[in-house]
Amino acid sequence: MGSGWLATNPMKKISLLALAASAALSSPLLAQAKPEETAALRDAALTDSVAWDITEGLTTEIGPRLAGSDAEARARDWAVARLKALGFSNVRVEPFEVPYWERGEASAEIVAPYPQPLVLTALGNSAATPAKGLTAEVIGFDSLDSLKAADPAAVKGKTVFLTHRMAVTQDGSHYGTVGKVRREGPSVASKLGAAAILIRSIGTDHHRAPHTGAQSWSDGAQPIPALALANPDADQLERVLKRGQPVTVALKATARMAGKRLSGNVIAEVPGRDPNAGIVLVGGHLDSWDQGTGAIDDAAGVAITTAAAKRIMDAGQPLRTIRVVWFGSEEIGLFGGAAYREKHKDEKHHLLAESDFGSDRIWRYQTSIAEAALPAMKPLAAALAPLGIQPAPRNGDASGSDISEIQKLGIPVIELGQDGTRYFDVHHTPDDTLDKVDPAQLRQNVAAWTALLSVTANDPTDYGPVPPRAH
Amino acid sequence: MGSGWLATNPMKKISLLALAASAALSSPLLAQAKPEETAALRDAALTDSVAWDITEGLTTEIGPRLAGSDAEARARDWAVARLKALGFSNVRVEPFEVPYWERGEASAEIVAPYPQPLVLTALGNSAATPAKGLTAEVIGFDSLDSLKAADPAAVKGKTVFLTHRMAVTQDGSHYGTVGKVRREGPSVASKLGAAAILIRSIGTDHHRAPHTGAQSWSDGAQPIPALALANPDADQLERVLKRGQPVTVALKATARMAGKRLSGNVIAEVPGRDPNAGIVLVGGHLDSWDQGTGAIDDAAGVAITTAAAKRIMDAGQPLRTIRVVWFGSEEIGLFGGAAYREKHKDEKHHLLAESDFGSDRIWRYQTSIAEAALPAMKPLAAALAPLGIQPAPRNGDASGSDISEIQKLGIPVIELGQDGTRYFDVHHTPDDTLDKVDPAQLRQNVAAWTALLSVTANDPTDYGPVPPRAH
């Protein structure tokens, strides 16, 4: 097979004979990367410093990057400058508007029977309490289902406390189950007439670091204060309630919706040799929650995918265009993903792949591609195996948050899955800071993404059409 | 040898012959506990539930117990009720006055060059900023010595940032070295004309959980805002400073001294058979810092020592009186220890032992006793060895925070040393909550303390006089 794309690699010593052969065979069908070249690029990426530099720079020089905030705007400027400096083409911002929600302050104390403070924070789109605060009796529920089944007369005017247990899983799969408690609980409580809702943090840690996150008000649900208790505080409230006396909690929260603000996606490209070969889209999201500096969520994601794309760019022009997208306003409701779909839905996308699950080592890959294209994954499997990465047992589960909207058009997706064992210790908390990023595991990520791009940006096989997802 | 103290154990089946022998031989010199009886008490303590119940109850029903606060007063009432319910004698509060310091709120943000918030909290006795805040350029120092050597002209009007690295040690010994940075740094900075000082938390964690702690103003030092940065925030400020541009930080802190308040020591006793045999004092401190619920510091300490004393009490009257002291106002300056010394300095104390280093497993014991009494430690060594507890290599290092004042009178001390590997992850932070207490390790502590009391409260040997400490 030819080695067309490697022939343009300025870093490689290539014989004239090889160059001639390459020129003669430069059809897209013969563009596949040689396994040994992919392996060399992959292994070189194990010494990568670009991903660390981006993660360190973005979290240090910008810090928290709440969707629609001034900080997110500064982050876009930072991203444009950095992507240009790295040598990417067509670096630009694609702006869009978002509803702007401010966290404000939140405090709580048990008034009776055991006066003491509780640590909590507002969930996305939470309403404020009255300025003087809100004091109400607490009614506890141990599941969303038990709340849904509650007698409205028992809930009316009370502060609902909704608890649960989040399990530690390597693949993070329990987030789907307990995330629902956060996403739906506030609307359910509001419709039952609750004055406010306190939800145990969706997290696996034992710190006074409440996990924020998005929730939205379903039709007919009046916004109420919706707050996440830190896990030790939820433990405490459970113990206090179990003693059987009426429990009163005073809350103050100043969260509010504050009009429309500008957000945007930052885009950079490595133009491919064949403009008609379709785009390989990789990226993560630029915005973060405002409690931490968004290191694992998701500075690392944009850093890993950008570092890998740069390695492919520096190795020579790929067959297909690689488009790196640093999505805006993911956390508050996937606004960047929706804006991207709207603007780019008519372009040909070959493949989508997103990094938004931290930066611990990648241990498996998943696909959402045509069954007929599964044999074409063999070179990818071979390139990833030396990094300890195995294929998931079935096709159809790959996705990503920002790419989920455009994925609905039927575009193939490959997902490189990081080890999530400690991800939900930190996710959406003030503790999402640079020290949580392990440089060695970050480099393993870059190596895996470099292998992914080396194979897929040069593979002439079409991975579609994608059948509807199995679940 | 006689077994006098065990003869009164209502839980044991003892023959009439043994009872008669015990009565005949009930001289203090023949009162030593039989090794097998100590072993049985120790092993039974491995199923203890009293220590957990106290730790859980105090942290749940009272929560944070700042020295001089209403919560500390409620905690004294709670303690009296609990100690009476457990069957102790002479349960009482010995009140004293303390200066009352309120933490208030503290916030900070980097204004330039990279605007973002920092997480911090006030150190004990910190002054407030002006109500509108304090904005100043930051000058960084990597050690207390380098701050001491600074040119006052370079420091005047600036906010000092003092960083360091705390090492993880099993014995917590690095706290002495870095604790000095916190205790002395604010006065040094103030005398150099600093507007405020930010000190990297004295802690080994990586959380947005700043470690508070006591510091006091040396003669001539004007109180200034003195604040502890969480470790990730100190990392961040180091990175920002290293980029070389002038760094401006805006601070707000409302900490203040607020007059005098009542505090107190709570005391309970197991009266000994021989009122002249001297008191074995055990305990910990009832107050806590206000950020957490004071589970490892020091609900566990009062719980462990109380549970052990109850086990000895329930096993039969010991030779010597065991006095359990739940000291007040330790954290803000050892006020309870000073008040105890003042009130009880003329009483005969046989031995002092305090638990104030969390509740992870005890791995060694230290002594500060007469050299001549070292052979008398053999029964103790034998009783502790099955719990994995070894003697420290030299005599003279045993102490304790609350007991340090009365120890100065020359009273022997034995210290059971807990594993401190994870202690400074949590110490003085909001994270000092019940979930940090491992019930199994807590029970090992109770077993060790039960063995200690079984041996020492019945050992007729005098452990004094204590030579001056070697260091």
Q: pLDDT tens digit string along A8-32?
A: 333 333 344 444 344 434 444 456 8
pLDDT at position A249 is 98
Find residues 364-403 of chain B whose CB sits inside 8 Å of chain A.
Answer: none
Domain with CATH 3.40.630.10 in chain A: 35-100+259-456
Q: At what angle do helices A35-44 and A439-456 cross, to 10 degrees?
A: 160
Cβ-based neighbours of B252, under 8 Å, separated by 6 or more: B105, B106, B107, B108, B129, B133, B134
Confidence of residue A469 (pLDDT cuts 50, 70, 90): low
Nearest in space to A164 (alpha carbons), one of A120, A138, A201, A205: A201
Average pLDDT over every residue of A115-125: 98
**By the 8 A CB rule, do B238 and A434 touch?**
no
For residue range A391-408, what is the model confidence (pLDDT) as tens digits?
999 999 999 999 999 999
Tell me whether B254 touches chain A (CB under 8 Å). no
Q: Rounded CA gap, A422 and B2, in Å?
A: 58
pLDDT at position A177 is 87
- On the CB side of A281, how many CA atoms lie within 13 Å of its CA? 31
Report the length, in residues, of chain A: 471
More confident residue, A262 or B177: A262
pLDDT at A460 over 60: yes
More confident residue, A176 or B403: B403
pLDDT at position B41 is 98
Nearest in space to B416 (alpha carbons), one of B444, B379, B374: B444
A109 catalytic, yes or no? no
**By the 8 A CB rule, do B193 and B214 touch?**
no
Q: Rounded CA gap, B314 and A313, in Å?
A: 78
The amino acid that residue B299 corresponds to is A
CB contact under 8 A, B209 and A208: yes
pLDDT at A296 over 90: yes
pLDDT at A371 over 80: yes
pLDDT at A247 over 90: yes
The DSSP bridge partners found for residue A250 are: A109, A135
CB contact under 8 A, A435 and B64: no
**By the 8 A CB rule, do B297 and B289 touch?**
yes
Q: Rounded CA gap, A399 and A403, in Å?
A: 7
CA distance B416 to chain A (A): 27
Q: At what angle do helices B439-456 and B35-45 cross, to 10 degrees?
A: 160
CATH number belonging to domain A104-254? 3.50.30.30
Q: Rounded CA gap, B337 and A103, in Å?
A: 44
pLDDT at position B26 is 43
**By the 8 A CB rule, do B237 and B247 touch?**
yes
Using a pLDDT cut of 90, give the percent of chain B over it: 90
Which CATH number among 2.130.10.30, 3.40.630.10, 3.30.56.10, 3.30.1360.120 corresponds to the domain B35-100+259-456?
3.40.630.10
* Nearest beta carbon to residue A208 from set B231, B430, B434: B430
**By the 8 A CB rule, do B150 and B194 touch?**
no
Q: At what angle do helices A35-44 and A300-315 cross, to 10 degrees?
A: 130
Per-residue b or e along A163-176, where b marks 16 or more CB atoms closer than 10 Å to that residue's CB: bbebeeeebbebbe
Task: Concatenate the DSSP letters of all residues of A260-315 into one string.
Answer: EEEEEEEEEEE--S-TTS-EEEEEEES---SSS--IIIIIHHHHHHHHHHHHHHHH
**CB < 8 Å to B208, chain A:** 209, 292, 429-431, 433
The amino acid that residue B29 corresponds to is L
The amino acid that residue B106 corresponds to is A
Which residues of chain B, if any, have pLDDT below 70?
Answer: 1-31, 469-471
Mean pLDDT of chain A, nearest integer:
93
CB contact under 8 A, A293 and B116: yes
pLDDT at position B469 is 59
Q: 3-class DSSP state for residue B226?
A: strand
Place of tokens 């509650």: A150
pTM for this prediction: 0.92
Domain with CATH 3.50.30.30 in chain B: 104-254
pLDDT at A266 over 80: yes
Average pLDDT over every residue of A80-90: 98
pLDDT at position A74 is 98
Q: At what angle do helices A50-61 and A70-85 cross, to 10 degrees?
A: 150
